[in-house]
Amino acid sequence: MKNNFKKTVVKLATQAGLTINNSSNSDLEVYDENFYSRVLKEGSLGLGESYMDGLWDASHLDEAIYKILVAKLDKNIKLNLSLMFDLLLAKLTNKQTKNKAQEVAQKHYDLGNDLFAATLDPMMVYTGAYWKTADTLEQAQIDKLDLVCKKLDLKPGMRILDIGCGWGSFIKFACERYGVSAVGITISKEQAKLARELCAGYPIEIKVQDYREIEGVYDSIVSLGMFEHVGYKNHRLYMKVAREHLKDEGLFLLHTIGRNFSGIAIDPWMNKYIFPNAVLPSPSQITKATEGLLVMEDWHNFGADYDKTLMAWLENFTNNWHKIRDKYDERFFKMWKYYLCCCAASFRVRDMHLWQIVFSKNGVPGGYKSIR
């Protein structure tokens, strides 16, 4: 039986242009024969967990995963009963209620500020960068933050809201460069603690708060990399909240990862280990959620830039691992590396995208001027 598992996996790998255990030029090195059965029985979850368990490795992990995605090997492996049950549960229940939303904060964003400091740029920006003219991660993130400010047409004296503010990088930047004041909300206590320190001395208020608890009305609203946690059953409510708290003449910028199809869950491995209960939106899900509520003024896709961002994060994480390895074990190292490589490959193959969408409440008089 084990031999049959191996033959099947080797055949699939060959279809993807992958070589296994080829001493001269190998894409994958398999150290334990149980790898083959786990992949066939458990699909992407088995592939990721067997990597974390040390059953296999790849010298260029991102490229190996890219080849798997290009060949759509995941479509050749059927879902097991456990994964089918998870999908059914996602269909029947709301997995992004206020209480359930706390799970991603506890399992991901509260992992430790030292981990993210080791991975990200000096400003702690945890969203895809804009590499149009930049040569470094830091400059690409500065260019992205500045791009957002320009798209929102920020002016001194404006009061803005950042939904999912992270460590406060955007609102601090906007206060410094554009003279605004800001409120930032996050559900992560660890993020809020450091954000308050980094934003000290600026007209910024950081709140540990769910988007369903927002108060006040703002000149502009921004959300960078938070919509992925809202869930398709709550998209409409989220857009209603944005409209309710935006001034009539204001602009709302939604910066989100998206995908080509309308789904109800993310990859099983990613859901279990990285972003529990996350759901990437599709274009139709977003437009359906905003229909009759907001006017879509501009839609900008620079998802290819996220590949470069993730590879820069991987380099940072690998180079800084020695600083934090006493707190995180080797299995965690493999998990974090696998996460970054999987995401990079997904953007590279254009399965995932990075969208910045600008909305108004009633349409910009004379038309909105797109900025790139």
**Concatenated DSSP letters of 200-225:** TTSSEEEEE--GGG--S-EEEEEEES
End-to-end CA distance of the chain: give it in Å, rounded: 56
Q: Is the pLDDT of residue 74 over 90?
A: no
Angle between helix 137-151 and 304-324 (nearest 10)? 130
To the nearest 10°, report the CA torsion of 7, 12, 17, 23: -30
Name the residue with higher pLDDT: 322 or 87.
322
pLDDT, mean of residues 302-318:
98
Position 306 scores a pLDDT of 98
pTM: 0.91
175 is an active site residue: no
pLDDT greater than 70 at residue 84: no
Per cent of the chain over pLDDT 70 is 89
Which phi and psi angles does 73 have, rounded to 5°?
-65, -25
pLDDT of residue 121: 98
pLDDT digits (tens, 9 = 90+) for 90-142: 444 555 565 655 565 666 777 889 999 999 999 999 999 999 999 999 999 99
pLDDT (tens digit, 9 = 90+) per residue, 223-247?
Answer: 999 999 999 999 999 999 999 999 9
In this prediction, residue 18 carries a pLDDT of 92
* Alpha carbon 339 to chain centroid, angstroms: 11
CA dist list (Å): 37 to 32, 40, 47, 267, 335: 10, 5, 10, 19, 20
230: helix, strand or coil: coil
Q: Cα-Cα-Cα-Cα dihedral of 290, 294, 298, 304, to 10°?
A: -30
CA dist 36 and 157 (Å) reads 60
Average pLDDT, the chain: 91
Specify the pLDDT at position 226.
Answer: 95
User: What's the whole-number mean pLDDT along residues 25-51?
Assistant: 91
Whether the per-residue pLDDT at 75 is higher than 70: the answer is: no
- pLDDT for residue 206 is more than 60: yes
Residues in the chain: 372
333-342: average pLDDT: 98
**C-alpha to C-alpha distance for 110 and 116, rounded to whole angstroms:** 10
Tokens encoding 257: 């990862």
Confidence band, pLDDT 50/70/90 cuts, at residue 153: very high
Please name each of the domains of the chain with its CATH number.
2-78 (no CATH), 94-360 (3.40.50.150)
pLDDT digits (tens, 9 = 90+) for 250-294: 999 999 999 999 998 889 999 999 999 899 999 999 999 999 999
* pLDDT number for residue 161: 98
pLDDT of residue 87: 38
Using CA atoms, how far apart are residues 261 and 284, in angstroms rounded to an integer?
8
Look at 109 and 349; give whichever has higher pLDDT: 349
The stretch 197-201 carries a mean pLDDT of: 97
CA dist., res. 172 & res. 195, Å (int): 9
Residues 6+ apart with CB under 8 A from 327: 112, 114
Q: Of these residues, 149, 199, 341, 343, which one is catalytic?
A: 343
Residues 6+ apart with CB under 8 A from 113: 167, 190, 191, 193, 194
